[in-house]
Chains A and B, each alone.
Chain A
Amino acid sequence: MLRRLYRCAVRLHPSSFRRRFGDEMLHIFDQQKGTLAALDVMLDCVFSLLRQWTLRPHTGVELPASPLLLSPIADHIPSFETLDTFRPRASAIINGAVLSLILFCMTVFAIRYSWIQVSNLRIREIAVAPSQRGYSREDPSHSAGTSTRPLTQDSKESSERLQVNVIPIEPARTQTKVTASSSRTSATPVGVAIWLRLELYVGKYISNSPPAKISIQVEGDHLSLTAAGHPHLALSPLSPTRFAIVGAENSYVDFTPDDQGRIRLLSWDEGGNVITAQRH
């Protein structure tokens, strides 16, 4: 094993040196008795390797090669030959190192004091339907609207999930309503399925001024709103926190979650007349 390593180290010497003295070096290695002496010779070979490649120019007169090494290689240890004896001058290597160092410093300096703050570049967010985003589909806090708070607690309470299809109101009118809302909301395509947990919105909401009691319940596959003096109004989701009232123009219901993600507030915008009700 050690002899094989030594032979590899000899093969790594410059070709002129190896062809001339490699066989004799192996002969000397074979004369060593004991592992310690072999390791000593191996260490010397490593130093020789460094010395030959770094300190010794091989552009001088080539010595005659050992005839034994001119024979085909029979030990299956690879070796390489340099096609040209040219080696760069030491001054050229030093110049190259200095130039590389200067270039590196300039690059670091340019990055550090650049006028263009690369780290502050922002990519404009592309608004997509919640079902296409990848995060929890039923989470109203990820709506494109007012809040980013998650509905963590309520989400744990129920595992039932419903798929609610947006109820088409009237294509032209819906488009108008969506455009009138926030820019993010407008990115929610009409008719795209939105996954919601309807029971999160169900409950009674009471307004003090004007006094009103509003009830939200599930009817089939959609929410409905009940209030005194009004018939059952079907709600069509525009986003997880914003619903349109089916059959009514410019009427929306907005749900606002609290810090813990629970729906606490309802805002019923009926053609500019807004009723805000707290959940009970």
Chain B
Amino acid sequence: MPLSSAALHILLALAGEDLHGYGIMQEIARQSEGIYKLGPGTLYDNLRKLIQDGWVHELGPRRGDDDPRRRYYRLTDAGRNVLRAETARLTQVVREARLRLRIPNPRRV
């Protein structure tokens, strides 16, 4: 089943490193070049589901952090597999779209 845009972006943001909620929002904005912005309500609504599904693991507050309210999240192996599968599906979608629209593949440098 395809992931929602919010869930995909959260998994993608956590694929690099462990992040807290605000860090996830910033990473998503960076990756999408500011096009896709996630509010805290939407973020935690999706995080809750991802945690319940076992794709994201909550680490809790980190020692030495300046704000004890920050709770960090980590992508689990299951979540990484889901992200890989979704990436493969999207790659197939992109390939099919290029074929239908006759868009040439980008040249590899």
Contact = CB atoms under 8 A, between A and B. Distances in A.
Task: Please tell me the size bucket of the interface on A.
Answer: 20 to 34
Contacts of A40: 37, 39
Interface residues of B, number: 22
Given A28-B22, A28-B40, A56 B45 contact: yes
A24 B69 contact: yes
Nearest to A31: B22
Interface string B39-55: 11111110110011000
Nearest to B49: A56
Contacts of B41: 25, 44-45, 47-49, 51
Interface string B9-44: 000000000001110010000000000010111111
Interface in A40-73: 40-41, 43-45, 47-49, 51-52, 56, 60-61, 63-64, 66, 68
A23 B69 contact: yes
Q: Is the interface of A mostly helix, strand, loop or mixed?
A: helix
A20 interface: yes
A171 B43 CA distance: 94
A29 interface: yes
Given A52-B45, A60-B52, A27 B39 contact: no
Contacts of B68: 68
A60 B52 CA distance: 9
Contacts of A68: 68-69
A24 B48 contact: no
Given A24-B71, A27-B70, A17 B44 contact: yes
Given A44-B39, A48-B39, A61-B52, A25 B45 contact: no
17 contacts: A17-B45, A20-B44, A20-B48, A21-B47, A24-B21, A24-B69, A24-B70, A24-B71, A25-B40, A44-B41, A45-B41, A48-B39, A48-B44, A51-B41, A56-B45, A63-B58, A68-B68
Given A26-B69, A27-B22, 17 more contacts: A17-B45, A21-B44, A28-B21, A28-B43, A40-B39, A41-B40, A44-B41, A45-B41, A47-B39, A47-B41, A48-B39, A48-B40, A51-B45, A61-B52, A63-B48, A63-B51, A68-B69
